[in-house]
Chain A
Amino acid sequence: MRIPFPTLSSFAGLLLLAAMVAVPNFYLQERRPQFLAPAVPQGEIAAAQARMLPQALWIDARSFADYNQGHMPGALLLNEDNWDESLPQVLQQWKPGVPVIVYCSSVSCEASHEIAKRLMAGSVKPVFVLHGGWEALQKEAP
């Protein structure tokens, strides 16, 4: 029995059909309403929400080099390398009840979680990790 082999034209037609579905989907993905956005894990805060807070202490947990290239205005650098040097300034700036937002480079970066954990262990509260990190901040930049 001869198995029919798809012609090049029918193959091209299939590709076109796939593109007609994929392209608008991609477009909509970039502009999907907030209620359709993936949930932010507990303990984290989305960049858009963080920017709307009336008061917050921003902590940059990236390297000194990254911080120097650009950071959230007013953010203090506090990471596992300069913890001893920078902690006093952070604690002197912090006021009880004012949320602390910690960010590092991206969603896969763990440094912000470690810094947040250390701050919370010392009774600094509330502390949130910025979901998506610096990359998310730049996407949400006004």
Chain B
Amino acid sequence: MRLLILAFVLAAPVFTARAELVWEKTEQSFKTVPGQVTVKTSYPFKNNGADPVTITGLKTSCGCTTATPSKLTYAPGESGTIDTVFSIGTRTGLQKKTIQVETSDHRSQELFLTVTIPELLRIEPSFVLWTAGEPATEKIVTLTVKANPPFKITGLKGVPEKIKASLEPLPDGVGYRLHLQPKDTASPTEGWLELKTDLPDDKGIRFRVYVGVNQADPTL
């Protein structure tokens, strides 16, 4: 009798488990191209169970990723998708995001999205700032072309008022130094300095460095 009870307890999960949503794939990877703004994809599934299943929760690991079900409730045998949109923004490198799907059968499924965003140009630092009264010394931004084949930085435009800027190509052919110096730090100035390149304009690729001299007493 005891063995019977033990066998029932151990077998109970088998009797009560019903394969509900079955996923075609739970992991997807993409590599972006220059100028791309979003990565859109879908995760298809099918309700293989005997009961309807409702999607009760969808949570993404990043606000940069949205996830939307094709609808909420799926009858037995019905298929659906979770449609995701990942926003690239100013991100570069390997991006790993997860989407957690919770359903009315008290199950949870994690979906994985990996996006590789090639870095075309490394800008270090991405902004340069002087505060009012600080010595108006030169600051340098290092630019390293990472694209293959490499492109050339041909000049500067939109240099903020009262800022002296010059571009120094380095002997390695892919590096540059951007020299920046304000005329003084007595009065504020700010703006985005844009780097001109020999990349085609229709790609919509822009590289910018923020340069500023802060005012004397900013309000917090």
Contacts and interface: CB of A to CB of B under 8 A. Distances in A.
A95 B63 CA distance: 28
Contacts of B126: 118, 121-122
A109 B208 contact: no
Contact of B64 (A80, A92, A94): A80
Interface stretch (B15-23, B76-84, B212-220): B212-220
The 3 closest A-B pairs by CB, nearest first: A63-B63, A81-B89, A121-B125
B129 A124 contact: yes
Q: Label chain A's interface by main secondary structure.
A: loop
B91 interface: yes
Given A84-B192, A109-B62, 15 more contacts: A5-B3, A65-B63, A66-B63, A74-B220, A87-B210, A88-B210, A92-B215, A92-B218, A95-B218, A95-B220, A98-B220, A110-B62, A111-B62, A122-B125, A123-B125
Contacts of A66: 63
Interface string B106-131: 00000000000000000011111101
A96 B130 CA distance: 10
B90 A84 contact: yes
A93 to B, nearest CB: 6
B63 A108 contact: no
A122 B89 CA distance: 19
Chain B interface size band reads 20 to 34
A84 B192 CA distance: 9
Nearest to B134: A96
Contacts of B219: 93
B87 A81 contact: yes
Interface of B: 2-3, 6, 61-64, 87, 89-91, 124-129, 131, 190, 192, 208, 210, 212, 214-215, 218-220
A74 B219 CA distance: 11
Nearest to B3: A5
Contact of A105 (B63, B131, B192, B208): B63
B63 A91 contact: no
A44 to B, nearest CB: 19
Contact of A79 (B61, B89, B218): B89
Given A57-B220, A84-B192, A91 B125 contact: no
Given A84-B90, A122-B128, A79 B2 contact: no
Contacts of A96: 131
B63 A93 contact: no
20 contacts: A5-B2, A63-B62, A79-B64, A80-B89, A80-B91, A82-B89, A84-B90, A84-B192, A87-B210, A88-B210, A91-B214, A92-B190, A111-B62, A111-B63, A111-B64, A122-B125, A122-B127, A122-B129, A123-B129, A124-B129
